[in-house]
Amino acid sequence: MTVSSETGYCKPDQRMFQSVQEKLLRNGSILYVDDQQKNFAPAIALGWRTLLSDETGDWMTRVEELLL
Which pLDDT belongs to residue 8? Answer: 82
What domain range includes position 65? 27-68
| pLDDT (0 to 100) of residue 45 | 95
Max Cα-Cα span within the chain: 33
Q: How many CA atoms lie within 13 A of 33 on its CB side?
A: 14
Phi and psi torsions of 29, nearest 5°? -85, 155
Residue 53 lies in a domain: yes
- What is the 8-class DSSP label of residue 24? S
The count of structural domains within the chain is 1
38 domain-assigned: yes
Note whether residue 50 is domain-resident.
Answer: yes
pLDDT at residue 26, rounded to an integer? 67
Q: Which residues of the chain have pLDDT under 50?
A: none
Q: Is residue 7 part of a domain?
A: no
Integer Cα distance of 60 and 11 in angstroms: 21
In a domain, 18, yes or no: no
pLDDT of residue 27: 67
